[in-house]
Amino acid sequence: MNSVAKRLYFKREVVDGLLDYSNSNHPREGILLIRGKVKKDEIVVTQLIIPPLATHGESFSSFPTYMLPLDASILGVAHSHPSGTVAPSHGDLQNFWGRLMVIIGYPYEDEGDIGVFDREGARAIFTVID
């Protein structure tokens, strides 16, 4: 059972963007907003946005999520874990915002280094589409 959505898709360019952005910020955390379309049982993640308030060296747990735009197409926040752990920390779950949380773990090589989580911290399965 996938608690984020019955069907969860990430566009290939989103996956590549998450990996590239994480890589270019390493060893600091990279933070991105994820945007997409929600239908009844389906979520398609289509776009990444660099958050307006991101400053270099800021970590997700100090990121001011209360200042994020009220835009229903923004589904959640993605951030990298330079440590390589693809799991939310306690602080990550306390700062959960939106419908899903994406964590990209070092070495940021492919979608196997990307984890999608619900607000309980349960990992969701996603499919990469072109």
Q: Which two tokens stand for residue 19?
A: 């990996």
Does position 92 interact with Zn ion (CB under 5 A)? The reply is yes
55's enclosing H/E stretch is: none
**Going residue by residue from 38 to 77, which x/- string records binding to Zn ion, judged by CB under 5 A?**
----------------------x-----------------
Separation in Å, CA 36 to CA 42, 57, 63, 74, 109: 10, 27, 21, 7, 23
ω before 27 within 30° of 0 (cis)?
yes
Residue 44 or 79 having the CB closest to Zn ion = 79
Closest CB 83 distance from Zn ion, rounded Å: 9
Closest CB 81 distance from Zn ion, rounded Å: 5
Footprint of Zn ion on this chain (CB under 5 A)?
Answer: 60, 89, 92
